[in-house]
Amino acid sequence: MEGYQIYLNKGIEMVMDYGPRLLMAIVVLIVGRWVIRRIIDLVDKGMDRSFVDESLQKFVMSLLGATLKVLLLVSIATMVGIETTSFVAIIGAAGLAVGFALQGSLANFAGGVLILLFKPFKVGDVIKTQGYSGRVAEIQIFNTVLKTFDHQTIIIPNGRISGECLVNYSHEDRLCMVLTFGVGYGDDMKKTKAVLERLVDREARFLKEPAPRVLLSELADSAVNFTIHAWCQTDDYWPAYYDMHEKVKLTFDAEGISIPFPQHDVHLYQKK
């Protein structure tokens, strides 16, 4: 009976000691969750008014919510009387171990954050990176999804994109197209230039200002190279690019203008 009375007294003592703390912790948990929801709603509405990118907005909301919830839990643990020093140390050690295990994923995560923040490209842009060209279909946290012109899906890690050079063909509203065509040394240079100028004048997608130019750009090893500089709207770039190659080849064939290809002359000498 005396032992029972001792345990009862200890229980009452613990209730009197931790009861108010536990009750206060429950109140703080309820109020804290309400405050977190209010903060997230306010930040979300503020980002809506600022026309922040939807992908970045969702990422910031999830990150902010997780951070505030962790801080709330640590505060409650402190109120109840749990020693948070060792608790934080364990979390730090676990985070370090996970960081080493997920180095590649964390690099891609950081790359996705940089892309969303600094916007070197956006969904719908045509870019060239890591040897691939295509239209950006989706920017994810870890990867960027490209749709190539033959409708293949290319998934590229964001870490590689953010740390390497890329070409954004959609950044400007118009682009300068540079086309080079080689003809044989035996062909008529004036006729070739006139043919190219005629093709350029007939291409309606080329802008009149700045005016297109046809230049003799290089006397190469096996060809005389002519270069076309012509401006067009960004959306017209690739259709005009491919059409011009086809038109030049067909017109050169019809006009008797040769397009040389690499070849070697081999001379055999017989010793007597």
Domain check: are 159 and 184 in the same one?
Answer: no
Of 5-14, 185-194, 232-241, 254-263, the one with minimum mean pLDDT is 5-14
CATH number for the domain spanning 131: value is 2.30.30.60
Residue where a domain stops, chosen among 101, 130, 152: 101
Residue where a domain stops, chosen among 73, 101, 129: 101
Closest to 249 (Cα-Cα) out of 181, 178, 186, 187: 181
Would you state the pLDDT for residue 241?
Answer: 94
In the numeric block, the tokens 């690499």 are attached to 262
SS3 135: strand
Domain check: are 37 and 128 in the same one?
Answer: no
Counted domains in the chain: 3
Domain check: are 73 and 15 in the same one?
Answer: yes
181 with 246: CB under 8 angstroms?
Answer: no
CA distances for 100 relative to 95, 103, 106, 155, angstroms: 9, 5, 9, 24
220 with 182: CB under 8 angstroms?
Answer: yes
Calpha distance 258→252 (Å, rounded): 7
Please name the amino acid found at residue 197.
E
The more confidently predicted of residues 38 and 77 is 38
Read off the pLDDT of residues 93-130 as tens digits, 9 standing for 90 and up.
Answer: 656 555 554 456 677 777 877 887 788 888 888 899 88
Domain check: are 209 and 247 in the same one?
Answer: yes
Residue 214 lies in a domain: yes
Residue 241 lies in a domain: yes
Domain check: are 213 and 198 in the same one?
Answer: yes
Mean pLDDT of 5-16: 60
Read off the pLDDT of residues 134-180 as tens digits, 9 standing for 90 and up.
Answer: 888 888 778 888 998 888 999 988 888 887 888 888 888 898 999 99
Domain check: are 33 and 49 in the same one?
Answer: yes
pLDDT at 9 over 90: no
**Residue ranges making up the domain that contains 143:** 121-168
Residue 267 lies in a domain: no
CA distances for 70 relative to 42, 74, 76, 82, 264, angstroms: 19, 6, 10, 15, 72
Residue 268 lies in a domain: no
Angle between helices 2-49 and 54-80 (to 10 degrees): 160
Residue 108 lies in a domain: no
Domain check: are 137 and 218 in the same one?
Answer: no
Domain check: are 242 and 221 in the same one?
Answer: yes
CATH number for the domain spanning 217: value is 3.30.70.100
DSSP H helical segments within the chain, as ranges? Answer: 2-49, 54-80, 84-101, 103-118, 158-163, 189-202, 237-255
Domain check: are 15 and 91 in the same one?
Answer: yes
Residue 272 lies in a domain: no
Mean pLDDT of 4-25: 64
Domain check: are 80 and 131 in the same one?
Answer: no
Residue 262 lies in a domain: no
To the nearest whole number, what is the mean pLDDT of the chain?
81
Would you state the pLDDT for residue 190?
Answer: 94
Task: Kindly tell me the burial class for residue 79, based on how many C-beta atoms sit within 10 Å of its own C-beta (0-12, 13-18, 19 or more).
Answer: middle
Domain check: are 37 and 81 in the same one?
Answer: yes
pLDDT at 12 over 70: no
| Most confident among 41-50, 57-66, 137-146, 173-182 (mean pLDDT) | 173-182
CATH number for the domain spanning 79: value is 1.10.287.1260
Residue where a domain stops, chosen among 151, 168, 185: 168
Calpha distance 48→133 (Å, rounded): 32
Would you state the pLDDT for residue 16?
Answer: 59
Domain check: are 129 and 187 in the same one?
Answer: no
Residue 217 lies in a domain: yes
